[in-house]
Amino acid sequence: MTASKTTSRATLITIIITLLLVALLGWRFYSLGNYTLARATQDFLNALTLGSLYALIALGYTMVYGIIRLINFAHGDIFMLGSYLAFYAMALTPMHWAAALLVTILLGGTVLLVIRALFNLEEPKKTITLALLLFAGTFFLLAFRHMGWIEALLLSMLATGVAGVLLEAVAYRPLRGAPRESMLITAIAASFFLENLGQLLFGPRVRGFNAETILNKPLSFSIGHDTVYFTGILVMVPLITALLLFVLNTFVSRTKLGKAMRATAQDAEVAQMMGVNVNQVIALTFFIGSILAAAAGVMYSIRFGQIHPLMGLMPGIKAFTAAVIGGIGSLPGAVLGGLLLGMIEIYAVSLFPTLSAYRDVFAFVLLILIMLFRPSGLVGEDLTEKV
Amino acid sequence: MRNTILTIASVGLAALALYLLSHMQGTSGLLSALTLIFIWGIAAVSLNLINGQLGILSLGHHGFMLIGGYVTALLMLPAKERRPFRTRLLSDWARNDLDLDKWLRGLGLDTIANSVDLKFVIALFLAGLAAAFIGIIVGAPSLRLKGDYLAIVTFGFGEIIRLLPNAPQVAAFTNGPLGIKGIPGNAGSIWWTFVVFLLVIWFFSRLKFSSYGRAFEGIREDEIAAEAMGVGLAYHKVLAFTLSAFFAGVAGGLYASYLQSVDTQTFNFFVTFFLLVAISLGGLGSITGAVLGTAIVILVRIYGGFLEESHTAFVGYISGAAVMLAAFAFSVYIRKSRRLRPVVEPKHYIFGGLGILLLLVALLFQGQPWMTQKVQFFGMRRILLAVILILIMIYRREGLMGRAELAWNKVFGSREDIPSDEQRDQDAWLSNPDLNPGAAKEDDDASA
C-alpha cells in the first residue's frame, strides 16, 4: 500500500497509455469520418463512470489482498447486497413505526457494536453520542418519509460494511493461518452462498431500480454541430468516487488506524508484535472495502437501472482484473487499473463494434496476460515467492 | 492375487446388481442417479489429480468439460441435422465436412460408421484428445505460476472457453447460445458410464501408485525438494494437467450425450464449484474420497428436491430458527470439546438470538396471512452445498477420507503395505552405517 515510491512510474505509464488511446482514437477518427468529437466526449463520460465504479470495487479486492493475501471472491456479491439494500430502503419507506423501530434496533445495534469495536470507541461518552445519532437517524430515515437515493446510499453503505465484517468473522477468521488454497476455496463457497441467498431472499428475477432522481433525466450540450446526450449520474459517479477516494486516502495516510493498516499490509507478524490488533485491522479492511463496494453497487444500479442476484459476478471479476492490472495490493494501482479497464472496455466496443460480442472476454484475456507476463501489475510490488 | 480376485468379483457383483436394477420396475430414478454419479465421478477423479494429488488449485475444469461436450455433440450429430445453424464464416465446412461418419467412410471403416456405439467410443476419445490439447495450451504457460495466481488464471481460461461458443465467429459450429440439441449417443444407458467409469478408476489408481503418482505427490509436498530429487516440475505438472483435461473432456462428452443437448450454461462455473465440493468433501488426494464425495453431492442434488418445494412461510421461519439454533449448539459443542474458554463466544449469541427471534416471530404471528402463504425456496440445495464446503474448510480440511484409499488389505486388516516390526528393524540395520558399514561402501562403489 505504499504510494510515494511508485507514483512517478504510475504517472508515466498512465500518460503513455492515454497517449496510445488518443492516438488510436485519432486514427479511427480520421479513417472513418463518422466518429465525431461529440461521440468521443460521450464515450469519455461513459468510460470515466464505468472506470470509477470498477475502481471503487477494485479497492476492496486490493485492500483485502494486501492485508491477508486472500482473493475475496465474494466481494462482487457484497456489491450486489449493497444495491439490494438500497433498493429495499427506497421501496419500503416510509415504514410502519413498529417495523421501523424493530429494524432500527436490529440494524442500529449491530452497526453500533461493529463500529465501536472497529474504531476503538471505548469512552462511554462517544459511544452514547454515536448510539443516539445512529438510532435517531435510522429511525427518522425509515419511519417518516420516502427515502431518497443519497440517504439510501448512506444507509446501504453502513449496513453492507457490517455485512462484510460479519462475512469475515464467520467465514474467513476461523481459517487464519490455513493454506491459501483453502481460504480461496472458502471465498468461492462464500460467493456462491451469497448469490444463492440473494436468489432466495430477493427472488431470482430482474428488478427495475428506479431511483426517481434528477440524475436520470436526460441532459445534453452541444459541441460544434453535434449534441452530447448524457444523464446526471454520469457526472455524479466520478465526483462521488473522487470524494470517497479522498476520504479513504486521508484515512489511510493520516490516521492511526490507517497507519496500523499499512503496517499490517507490510508485515502482519511484526505489526502484531508492535501492538497492532491485527484482527481489528482485518475487520476494518473488510468494513471499508464493503462500504466502497456498496457505494459502487448503488451507483451502478442507478446507472444501469436494474438489479438481480447475479449482478455482482461480471463487475466483480472485472474489478478484480482492474486490481490485478494496477498491481494487487496497491491502492493507487486499483484506481488506475479501474479507470484503465473502463476506458479499454468502452473505447474498444465503440471503436470496433464487431468486437462487442467479446466484451466480457476482454477482461479475462487481460487478466491472464497480466498474470502471466507481469504478475506485479503496473505499479504493484513484486509478490513472487522466494525460497 | 487374492486382491485381484476380490476386485474382479466385486465388479462382477456390481454389474449383476446394476443388471437386476435395470430390469426392475420403478428404479429409473435410482439408475439415473447412478449414471450421474459415474459421469461426475470421472470428472471429480480427474480434478482430484490436479487439486489433490498435485496440490495445485485449478478452477478451469468446466472449460475442459465444455470442450468435451461440444466435440462429442458435433461428432455424433449427423451433418444434415445441423442445417438450422447460423451460416457465417467456415459454415460450409462445418455443415458438409465436419462429419465423423464421412471421415470414417473415407477411411474405409464402414463397419464402425454403421455402429452408433463404436462411433460414440471414437467421439469420446476425440473429445478427450481435444480437451487434452487445450489443456496443454492452457497449462504450459500458466503452470509457471503458483497458488491463487494459478487458480485465477485457470479460472480465466475456463471462463473464456465458456464464453467463446456464444461469439458470432464460432457460432457456425456451436449454434451460439441456443446450443446443440438432439445428440445421439448411448450414455443414457447406465452400462456405458459404468464401463468408462471403471476404466477411469482403474487408470487413476494405477497412476497414483506408479512413479508418476509418487512424483505428483512429491511436488505437492514440497516443490523444491521434489526438484532436487530429480522430478521435472514443468513436465510433471503439464502431464497431470493434460491427463486431467483429457478425462474431463471424456466426462463432458458423456454428460452431453446423457442430456442429449449441450449449451454454454450446461458447463458454467458452478460445475467446477460442484466438483470442488465433491473432492473436498471426500478428501483431497483420495480417489475413493472423490467418488464418495461425488455420490453424496449428487444424492443431495437429486433427493434434496423437497428443500425447494413450496412450503408455507411458517415452515421457513421454523426451519431457519432450527438451523440457527443448531449452529449455535454445534459451535458450543465444538468449543466445549476443544476445551476453549469462554464456551460461548459473543458472536455465537448472534446465531442464538437470531434463532430465538425467528422462532418467536413464527409462533407469535402463526395465523397471519403472510405467515400461511406459500413460499418457494429457490437455490436451497446450492446454499447447502456452499455451507457444507465452508464447514469442511473450517472444521475438517482433510475431508472424509483424508488421502487414504479403500483397499482390500485395509478391509481385512492385514496391512501389507506397512512393514512389520521385523522388517523395520532389518531396514534400520541395513541403512545405518554404524551397524552395517558394508552398506555405505557398496553405495560408494555404485556411485563411482
What is the reported pLDDT for A230? Answer: 79
Assess A119–B contact: CB distance below 8 Å, yes or no.
Answer: no
Chain A residue with the nearest C-alpha to that of B375: A200
The verdict on a CB contact (< 8 Å) between B389 and A372 is no
Asked if B240 contacts B54 with a C-beta cutoff of 8 angstroms, the reply is yes
C-alpha distance from residue A153 to each of A114, A298, A314 (Å): 19, 6, 22
Which helix (H) or strand (E) segment holds residue B262: the answer is: strand B261-262
Model confidence over B166-193: pLDDT tens digits? 877 777 777 777 788 878 766 667 888 8
Which three cell numbers, joined as nine digits, stand for A318?
472485472
User: Which of B331, B371, B380, B328 shows the shortest CA–CA distance to B350?
Assistant: B328
Asked if B183 contacts B73 with a C-beta cutoff of 8 angstroms, the reply is yes
Per the structure, the count of domains in chain B is 3
With H, G, I as helix, E, B as strand and everything else as coil, classify residue B233. helix
Residues B319 and B297 in one domain: no
Assess A103–B contact: CB distance below 8 Å, yes or no.
Answer: no
The verdict on a CB contact (< 8 Å) between B160 and A365 is yes
What is the reported pLDDT for B349? Answer: 82
Assess B326–A contact: CB distance below 8 Å, yes or no.
Answer: no
Is the confidence at residue A299, as pLDDT, over 80?
Answer: yes
State the CATH number of the domain containing residue B147. 1.10.3470
pLDDT average, residue stretch A100-106: 88
Q: Cβ contacts of residue B410 below 8 Å, gap of 6+?
A: B404
User: What separation, in Å, do the N-terminal and C-terminal C-alpha atoms of chain A show?
Assistant: 24
Which three cell numbers, joined as nine digits, stand for A65?
489482498
- H-assigned helices in B49-186: 61-76, 91-96, 100-106, 110-114, 116-142, 147-163, 171-174
Which of A312-316, B30-34, B219-223, B414-418 comes out lowest in average pLDDT?
Answer: B414-418
Task: Answer whether residue B386 is part of any domain.
Answer: no
Residues B351 and B209 in one domain: no
Number of H helices, E strands in chain B: 22, 4
The verdict on a CB contact (< 8 Å) between B142 and A368 is yes
Is the confidence at residue A7, as pLDDT, over 80?
Answer: no
Task: Answer whether residue B300 is part of any domain.
Answer: yes
Is the confidence at residue A210, as pLDDT, over 90?
Answer: no
Which is more confident, A255 or A144?
Answer: A255
Domain end point (choices B306, B337, B368) = B306
Residues B102 and B37 in one domain: yes
Asked if A284 contacts A118 with a C-beta cutoff of 8 angstroms, the reply is yes
Residues B222 and B252 in one domain: yes
Which three cell numbers, joined as nine digits, stand for A381?
510490488
Residue identified by cell 415452515 is B315
Is the confidence at residue A122, as pLDDT, over 90?
Answer: no
Looking at CA atoms only, how far is residue A313 from chain B in angstroms? 11
- H-assigned helices in A108-231: 109-118, 124-143, 149-167, 180-202
- The CA distance from A188 to A71, in Å, is 9
State the greatest distance between any 2 C-alpha atoms of chain B, in Å, as a whole number: 91
**ipTM confidence:** 0.86
Which of A231-235, A312-316, B440-444 is most confident? A312-316
Residue B202 — very low, low, confident or very high, per pLDDT cuts 50/70/90? very high
User: Which of A282, A284, A258, A286 shows the shortest CA–CA distance to A115?
Assistant: A284
Average per-residue pLDDT for chain B: 84
Is the confidence at residue A21, as pLDDT, over 80?
Answer: no
Residues B302 and B314 in one domain: no
What is the reported pLDDT for B80? Answer: 66
What is the reported pLDDT for A197? Answer: 92
Assess A71–B contact: CB distance below 8 Å, yes or no.
Answer: yes
Model confidence over A337-370: pLDDT tens digits? 999 899 888 888 887 777 777 888 888 888 898 8
What is the reported pLDDT for A380? Answer: 64
Residue A120 — very low, low, confident or very high, per pLDDT cuts 50/70/90? confident
In a mutational test of the B interface, the residue from A68, A166, A188, A361 whose CB has the highest number of chain B CBs within 10 Å is A188
Is the confidence at residue A329, as pLDDT, over 90?
Answer: no
Is the confidence at residue B94, as pLDDT, over 70?
Answer: no
What is the reported pLDDT for B240? Answer: 95
User: What separation, in Å, do the N-terminal and C-terminal C-alpha atoms of chain B show?
Assistant: 40
What is the reported pLDDT for B335? Answer: 85
Q: What percent of chain B has pLDDT over 90?
A: 32
CA A380 to chain centre: 19
Which of A177-181, A335-339, B376-380, B410-414 comes out lowest in average pLDDT?
Answer: B410-414
- The count of CB pairs under 8 A between chains A and B is 117
The residues that bridge with B383 in the sheet, in sequence order, are none
Residue A3 — very low, low, confident or very high, per pLDDT cuts 50/70/90? very low
Looking at CA atoms only, how far is residue A8 from chain B in angstroms? 27
What is the reported pLDDT for B22? Answer: 81
Residues of chain A found within 8 Å of residue B63, distances taken between Cβ atoms: none
Is the confidence at residue B418, as pLDDT, over 70?
Answer: no
What is the reported pLDDT for B103? Answer: 80
Q: What percent of chain A has pLDDT over 70?
A: 92
pLDDT average, residue stretch A18-30: 74
CA A353 to chain centre: 28
pLDDT average, residue stretch B396-412: 78
Is the confidence at residue A260, as pLDDT, over 90?
Answer: yes
DSSP assignment string, B293-328: HHHHHHHHHHHGGGGGSEEEHHHHHHHHHHHHHHHH
Residues of chain B found within 8 Å of residue A181, distances taken between Cβ atoms: 57, 147-148, 151
Residue A212 — very low, low, confident or very high, per pLDDT cuts 50/70/90? low
Q: Cβ contacts of residue B437 below 8 Å, gap of 6+?
A: none
pLDDT average, residue stretch A188-210: 90
The residues that bridge with B147 in the sheet, in sequence order, are none
CA B296 to chain centre: 12
Residue A48 — very low, low, confident or very high, per pLDDT cuts 50/70/90? very high
Model confidence over B344-392: pLDDT tens digits? 887 788 788 888 988 988 888 887 777 777 877 778 888 889 999 999 9
What is the reported pLDDT for A34? Answer: 66
What is the reported pLDDT for A84? Answer: 95
Buried b / exposed e over A97-132, threshold 16 CB at 10 Å, is eeebbebbeebbebbbebbebbeeeeeeeeeeebbe
Asked if A216 contacts B399 with a C-beta cutoff of 8 angstroms, the reply is no
Task: Answer whether residue B384 is part of any domain.
Answer: no
The verdict on a CB contact (< 8 Å) between A180 and B347 is no
Residues B129 and B178 in one domain: yes
Domain boundaries, chain A: 41-93+146-311
Domain end point (choices B286, B306, B326) = B306
Is the confidence at residue B90, as pLDDT, over 60?
Answer: no
What is the reported pLDDT for A15? Answer: 76
pLDDT average, residue stretch B126-138: 95
- The CA distance from B251 to B246, in Å, is 9
Q: What is the DSSP letter of A174?
A: G
Asked if A341 contacts A41 with a C-beta cutoff of 8 angstroms, the reply is no
Pairing of strands A226-231, A306-307: unpaired
What is the reported pLDDT for A328? Answer: 85
- The CA distance from B199 to B186, in Å, is 17
Assess B141–A contact: CB distance below 8 Å, yes or no.
Answer: yes
Residues B322 and B294 in one domain: no
Residues B316 and B183 in one domain: no
Looking at CA atoms only, how far is residue B376 from chain A in angstroms? 8
Q: What percent of chain B has pLDDT over 70?
A: 88
Residues B249 and B359 in one domain: no
Q: What percent of chain A has pLDDT over 90?
A: 39
Which three cell numbers, joined as nine digits, stand for A112?
453500533
What is the reported pLDDT for A198? Answer: 92
What is the reported pLDDT for A383? Answer: 52
Residues B184 and B239 in one domain: yes
What is the reported pLDDT for B96? Answer: 66
Q: State the CB neighbour count (10 A cutoff) for residue A161.
A: 26
Q: State the CB neighbour count (10 A cutoff) for residue A305.
A: 14
Assess A17–B contact: CB distance below 8 Å, yes or no.
Answer: no
Buried b / exposed e over B103-134, threshold 16 CB at 10 Å, is ebeeeeeeebbeeeeebbebbbebbbbbbbeb
Residues of chain B found within 8 Å of residue A360, distances taken between Cβ atoms: 163
- The CA distance from A209 to A185, in Å, is 32
Model confidence over B2-49: pLDDT tens digits? 778 888 888 889 888 888 888 887 778 888 889 999 999 999 999 999
Is the confidence at residue B448, as pLDDT, over 50?
Answer: no
What is the reported pLDDT for A386? Answer: 39
Residue identified by cell 501492538 is A275
Positive/negative CA dihedral, B22, B24, B29, B30: negative
What is the reported pLDDT for A150? Answer: 87
Model confidence over B292-327: pLDDT tens digits? 999 999 998 888 877 777 788 888 888 889 988 998
Residues B248 and B318 in one domain: no
Asked if A319 contacts A76 with a C-beta cutoff of 8 angstroms, the reply is yes
pLDDT average, residue stretch B76-96: 62
Domain range for B431 is: 418-447
Domain end point (choices B260, B277, B306) = B306
Is the confidence at residue B84, as pLDDT, over 60?
Answer: no
The residues that bridge with A219 in the sheet, in sequence order, are A230
Residues B368 and B277 in one domain: no
pLDDT average, residue stretch A321-331: 88
Looking at CA atoms only, how far is residue A70 from chain B in angstroms? 8
The verdict on a CB contact (< 8 Å) between B160 and A190 is no
